[in-house]
Amino acid sequence: MRISSLNLIPSVGQRKNVSIKSRRIFLLIFITFLLSTSLIYAQQSEEKLSLHQAVAMAFASDNNLMATEAYLRASEYDIRQAKSAYLPRLDLNGSYSHWSKVNEFTISAGTMGIQQHIKTVADNPANIKLGLSYDLYTFGRRPGSVAIARAENQLSSLRYRNVKKDLFDTVARTYFAVVFASESLRMLQKEKNRFEHIYQIVKNRFQQELISEFDLLQTQFRLEIYKKTVLEMSNTLEMARLNLAKLLGTSIDMLPTLSDSLDSGLLIVPSFENWDEIYPRREDYLKAITSAQKAKSAKKIIKSAYFPSVRVFTSYDWRNGYQPDVNDILGNFTVGINFNWLLFDGFTRRANMSKQNYLIKALNRTVDDIKLSIPFQIKTLQLSLENDSLRIDIQKQALSLAQRAMAIAQKKYDIGDLTMIELLEAENQLSQAELELLKLRYKYILTQLDFKKVSGIYPEIGDIN
């Protein structure tokens, strides 16, 4: 028996169709693999913004911080300018004038009566003078000027530190405000969606005359409250995002997703053993001390006005052209000493001295007041941190009880021992417990920031250039 080859070996057309189908299947699998890989990579590589990165962006884009740093650099040159008073002064002066006047004079020759009338035209005289001078005694004027310049530089440095800390504080508060609003909106949106589903169930049961109209209206009222609360929180989140984008120097559309949560461990709460560690970190305290030192230096300068000033000088004067005296030399070398003493100025110095005395007294009072208030502020915020921590622990227990109560209420509702309204009440208590815990965690972070501001200790800033 012969077996036809058509039944065993595929034809050329069949082989071609199989090849085309295989290619299409392979191409479809390859495209699916590429799309899935790209989606996974996009999800993994989504840009997220941490608190540390947000602060670094704010430092790099804040104009006020840059301006304060520029003022700080400028104040350093004030110190150089004040120190230059210790160096001698070297002056070079020159002048040139054109004379058109004709000088006439007569020369007589003895008793013979011979006279000769001579006319001369003056040259164009030029004058060049090189002078060197130095103040020997200023009686505290130069040291006082240098001390004031250094005090101004110190004040500029304190302003720069203060602006930097304030910017960190503002960015951190705004960052966590966005996180809090986002988490709250997510929870409220979840509750709103659940209430919308429950409202439909209640509405159907009301239409079936299984529940009263009061239950329907009460459910509808709660749903409307959730809708308005969600809308309010959405606006709050949008405003917080706008503020954060402004601080970071970007647009709200370019603002990345925030990666950090309401974790109190993100902020380093300073610890110290004695108050002496805090005083050098408080800009207001250091500013008062530096201002008092500046006032004392200004008093020294005012006091130096009661004493004379002594200056030595030397100069070399070169001139060309005709001189007033025919025997005058063309080059003049001068050495001298200058003495100046203001004997009476209408009691101006006395008034300035009295003014500086009162200013120093006021600044010393300010220093004492700040020094006394710092321990009180620190102790108050330490107690606030402890209270917030206790409230969080209590609320965690309340949330655990609300979760257990919700589980029990759900079982009772399933067997008909609870009404829909009672179940809604249990669910509402659970959502309120979750939201209250979120609020307490947010408040604890704000208290941490208050504590850092009072202590003046910001270890995070040292890691950000």
Given a cut of 70, whether residue 17 has pLDDT beyond it is: no
d(CA 403, CA 389): 21
Percent of the chain whose pLDDT exceeds 90 = 36
Beta strands in 323-372 (DSSP E): 331-340
Domain presence at residue 16: no
Cβ proximity of 374 and 454 under 8 Å? yes
Closest CA to 181 of 124, 147, 230, 148: 230
Query: Residue 124: pLDDT band by 50, 70, 90 thresholds?
Result: low
* More confident: 28 or 192: 192
Q: What pLDDT does 99 receive?
A: 54
Query: Residue 208: pLDDT band by 50, 70, 90 thresholds?
Result: confident
Cβ proximity of 218 and 199 under 8 Å? no
The helix (H) or strand (E) run that includes residue 260 is none
Average pLDDT over residues 264-276: 72
Domain presence at residue 242: yes
Closest CA to 160 of 66, 50, 293, 262: 66
Report H helices in 118-212: 141-207
Expressed as residue numbers, the domain containing 161 is: 48-87+138-305+345-463
Domain presence at residue 42: no
Q: What pLDDT does 26 receive?
A: 64
Question: Chain-wide mean pLDDT for the chain?
Answer: 81
Cβ proximity of 221 and 195 under 8 Å? no
d(CA 365, CA 309): 35
Cβ proximity of 91 and 131 under 8 Å? yes
Query: Residue 154: pLDDT band by 50, 70, 90 thresholds?
Result: very high
Cβ proximity of 257 and 175 under 8 Å? no
CA separation, residue 197 to residues 201, 203, 219, 255, 364 (Å): 7, 10, 11, 34, 68
Average pLDDT over residues 104-130: 56
Domain presence at residue 351: yes
Given a cut of 90, whether residue 172 has pLDDT beyond it is: yes
Q: What pLDDT does 330 receive?
A: 53
User: In the structure encoding, which two tokens stand for residue 290, read together?
Assistant: 């530096």
Closest CA to 164 of 231, 257, 69: 69
Residue type, 205: R
Angle between helices 141-207 and 420-455 (to 10 degrees): 180
d(CA 137, CA 349): 19
Cβ proximity of 133 and 87 under 8 Å? no
Within the chain, what is the greatest distance between any pair of CA atoms? 177
Q: What pLDDT does 246 receive?
A: 93
Domain presence at residue 271: yes
Burial of 144 (0-12, 13-18, 19+ CB in 10 A): buried
Q: How many structural domains does the chain have?
A: 1
Residues 6+ apart with CB under 8 A from 276: none
CATH of the domain at 80: 1.20.1600.10
SS3 state at 309: strand
Average pLDDT over residues 231-257: 92
Given a cut of 80, whether residue 72 has pLDDT beyond it is: yes
Cβ proximity of 144 and 304 under 8 Å? yes
Cβ proximity of 412 and 418 under 8 Å? yes
Cβ proximity of 279 and 370 under 8 Å? no
- Cross-strand partners of 134: 312
DSSP code for 2: P
Residue type, 43: Q
Domain presence at residue 376: yes
Percent of the chain whose pLDDT exceeds 70 = 79
Domain presence at residue 282: yes
* More confident: 386 or 427: 386
Predicted confidence (pLDDT) per residue in 379-397, tens digit: 999 899 999 999 999 999 9
**What is the number of other CB atoms lying within 10 angstroms of the CB of residue 120?**
10
Cβ proximity of 438 and 391 under 8 Å? no
Cα first-last separation, the chain? 92
Which has the minimum average pLDDT: 43-57, 239-253, 334-348, 404-418?
A: 43-57
Closest CA to 30 of 18, 42, 20, 38: 38
How many Cα atoms occupy the beta-carbon half-sphere of 330 within 13 Å? 6
Query: Residue 78: pLDDT band by 50, 70, 90 thresholds?
Result: very high
Predicted confidence (pLDDT) per residue in 283-305, tens digit: 999 999 999 999 999 998 888 88
Domain presence at residue 39: no
Q: What pLDDT does 13 receive?
A: 53
